Structure 1
Amino acid sequence: MILVVNAGSSSIKFKLYKSTGQAEPTPFVEGLAERITVDGALTLKIEGIKKEYNDKMPNHEAAVQAILNRFQENNVIKDVNDIKGVGFRIVHGGVKVVKPVVLDATMKKVVEDNIKLAPLHNPGALTAINAFEKNMPNAKLVGCFDTSFHQTMPPKNYLYPIPYEWFEEYSARKYGFHGISFDYITQKTAKIINKPVDKINLIICHLGNGASLCCVKAGKSFDTSMGLTPLAGIMMGTRTGDIDPSLHQYIAKQTGLDLEQITDILNKKSGLLGISGISSDMRDITAAVEQNNQKAALTLDMWSQRIADFIVKYANLLEGKVDAIILTAGVGENSRVANESILDKVKILNIKYDDKAMASGYDDYIKVSSSQSQYEIYKIRTDEELMICNETLKFLK
């Protein structure tokens, strides 16, 4: 069995997989331990049956113990040694981590060193790693980093036009995120179109509440829209995306807010929510558009235009040699209105979608481009947990 973990400062989201070695691993338990350090709440879903517990969780170690105890109580495992590996989603690996790694003392120090680059995410991940290590001493612990897929970007794409010593001394550069998803989609698309991964060129649109695009050249990340932090790039659920950095200074002078307060607003109260005043959820925005809400229509227009602009930019970086444009994550996989709004704005490329395919349901992936389209377009369901599971399994062979 392989346990996949996504940990925060007060929560541990997890999914347990069975692996026979003969086929794709299958998840059969998933859950969430939350309100860690507060009072504790644990939810398990075992083969579709939901169970809830009010286990006390004063810290992550207690949360891990609660998860493992409930696994045994529900006969999911006989003991902790049934779980051979634990794969962790970790946001930031800096420049040193370019692929999944075993989380030994050296790599845990890398996670710790990069807290300065991901202060909201890396601390929780590190705390969870230590908690699982203590409770599961025989399991192989593997780290999969959201930034590692993008370490193949050339300097011209990851450097900012700032004093070079800021890069040398403070590691100020573009890192990019959603790398686990982009890696999964790249490998998945290569199978779909029957082309070697190292020959494939893609424009991947990972469109969720947090969203970014990736230009994949010869199977590797060549450029991506997020930057030093996940605040950069396209307009998102509550994040601004790219803005004039002088906005901070201007708003500070006008309002008296400090730098941290302004940055918090740009991260949590902007984007779809900020412009619409309705919601950060695209489903709510599109529903309001159908009711002729003008601010919702403006929000959708702004959001889709920024994504369309990146698609055109990345097609140019690939010199027009694009094997496919991929729509993925919550919005990209499911919102017909949002996807069509994006594609309708890509004026300079001859891409056309099939209305029926765009509106059709699907399980894994569906081709939505028409026969007249210059480039193939797919909606593909991403699976970061499966990607982490498969990477963890590699270290057990």
Structure 2
Amino acid sequence: MILVVNAGSSSIKFKLYKIENKTPVALVEGLAERIAVDGALTIKRGEDKYEYKDQYDNHLMAVNSILKHFKELEVIKNENDIKGIGFRVVHGGDKIVKTVELTEENKKAVEDNIKLAPLHNPGALTAINAFQKGLPNAKLVGCFDTSFHQTMPKKNYLYSVPLKWYENHKVRKYGFHGISFDYITHKSSEVLNKKLEDTNLIICHLGNGASMCCVKNGKSYDTTMGLTPLAGLMMGTRSGDIDSSILQYMAKELNLDIYELTDILNKQSGLLGISEISSDMRDVSNAALNDKNPKAISALELYTQRIAEYIIKFANHLEGKVDAIVFTAGIGENSIITRELVIDKIKILNIKLDSSLNEQNYEDYLEISSQNSDIKVYKIRTDEELMICKETINFI
């Protein structure tokens, strides 16, 4: 069995797979949360849902609780059934360029990059150490959101700031959502019946956090997020790209420091900031389409315009040789109006959607472009947990 873990400072999201004939089959999934508060655990098995109230003073107590309930539900006989644990880790810096075994040296790299991902890496590292104690015989594997983008050329990851900032302080574009982009790249090559190294894609990972990736010859060539996940597209609560001098201007206007302003750009901007309604695209699009709310309409227009502009930029990177545009993640997979408006805003390329296919339900993937479109458009459901599971299997 392989356990996939996505941990934060107060939560552990997990999914347990059994490997049957070399194929991962999901057994249970769940969430341990409110760690160091009062503790709450939910485990789902098929249609069944189990909820527990256990006291977690730390991540190790949460790990032990998860394993205890796995045994109670007879999902595992003992801890040794779990041969490997795959962890999602947000930031690997510029040293970790692929999935790695979490040796002491690689754990040190996670720790060293806390300064680049202060909200995410500490929780991941705490969970890694807790599972190492709770499951000492399992092989620990780290899958990094940044590693997929380490193939970007220097011209796409350097900023036009003093070079010493990069050389001495590691200021560069790293990009995120790499596990999802990796999964979609492999999935698309299968769907398109093309070799991975011949696959050129523009992938739109649109969720509450959103980014895009230009995949050239099966590898990341450019992406929208930067040193942090704040750059690039407009998101649920993040601003995306703005004029950096706005920070200096608003510091004087509002008498706020750089930390307070950055917090606003991360948590009070994007769809929420423009619509003043919600950070959820479902709420914003409903207000725009049904209530004709002008602020919601503006938010929807800004959101889709930015995506369209990056599609044009990335198509230029690929010299027009685009095998497919792929929409994925919560909004990309499910928002009909988002896909429609994005494609409608691309004027210099002949890309057309089939409206009936755009609205059609689907399980795994579906081509939604019309027959007279020069570039194929797909909606594909991403599966980061499955990607992490497969990567972990490679180390077993």
Confirm or deny a common fold (TM above 0.5).
Answer: yes
Q: Distance in 2 between matches of 1:44 and 1:181?
A: 24
Residue 359 of structure 1 corresponds to 359
- Per-residue deviation at 1:239? 0.2
* Pairing 1:129–2:132 present: no
- Partner of residue 39, structure 2: 40
Instruction: Report the CA distance between 1:289 and its aligned residue.
Output: 1.1
2:21, 2:113 → 1: CA distance? 34
1:27 positional shift: 1.0
What is the total number of aligned residue pairs between the two structures? 395
Structure 2 matches for 1:145-224, cutoff 5 A?
145-224=144-223
SS of 1:19 mapped into structure 2 = strand
Match of residue 334 from structure 2:
334
CA distance in 1, matches of 2:156, 2:369: 29
Gaps of 5+ in 2: none
Normalising to structure 2: TM-score of the pair? Answer: 0.99
Q: Report the Cα offset of residue 52 of structure 1.
A: 0.8
- Who is 1:234 aligned against? 233
Partner residue, 1:138? 137
Q: 1:382 to 1:48 in 2, by over 3 A?
A: same
- 1:366-391 superposed Cα distances (whole Å, 9 cap, x missing partner): 00001100100000000000000000
Shift of 1:247: 1.1
Please tell me the residue identity of whatever aligns with 1:280.
Answer: S
Task: Work out the percentage of aligned pairs sharing the same amino acid.
Answer: 65
Which stretches of structure 1, 4 residues or longer, exceed 2 Å deviation after superposition? none
CA deviation profile, 1:147-170 (whole Å, cap 9, x unmatched): 000000000000000000000000
Matched with 1:26 is 25
Q: Does 1:302 align with 2:307?
A: no
**Residues 3-152 of structure 1 mapped to structure 2, 5 A cutoff:** 3-23=3-23, 25-152=24-151
Is there any run of 5+ residues in structure 1 with no aligned partner, and where?
none
User: Could you tell me whether the CA contact under 8 Å between 2:27 and 2:75 is conserved in 1?
Assistant: no
Q: How many angstroms apart in 2 are the aligned matches of 1:210 and 1:219? A: 23
1:311 matched to which residue of 2?
A: 311
Matches within 5 A, 1:315-394: 315-394=315-394
Letter of the 1:135 partner, please give it: G
Deviation string 1:121-170 (CA, Å, 9 cap, x unpaired) is 00000000000000101001000000000000000000000000000000
> What CA deviation, in whole Å up to 9, does each residue of 1:28-85 have, x standing for no partner?
2011000101111111112221111110100001110111111111111111101111
SS at match of 1:314: helix
Encode CA deviations 1:191-246: one digit per residue, 9 max, x unaligned.
00100000110000000110000000000000000000000001000000000111
Superposed CA offset, 1:308-338 (max 9, x none)? 0000000001110000000000011011011
Q: Any idea what SS the aligned residue of 1:86 has? A: strand
Aligned-partner Cα distance in 1 for 2:275–2:115: 33
CA RMSD after TM alignment = 0.6
Q: How far apart are residue 18 of structure 1 and its match?
A: 1.1
How high is the TM-score relative to the length of structure 1?
0.99
Distance 2:46 2:109 in 1: 36
Alpha-carbon offset, residue 346 of structure 1: 0.6
2:285 is aligned with 1:289: no
Find the aligned partners of 1:256 and 1:7 in 2 and give their Cα distance: 35
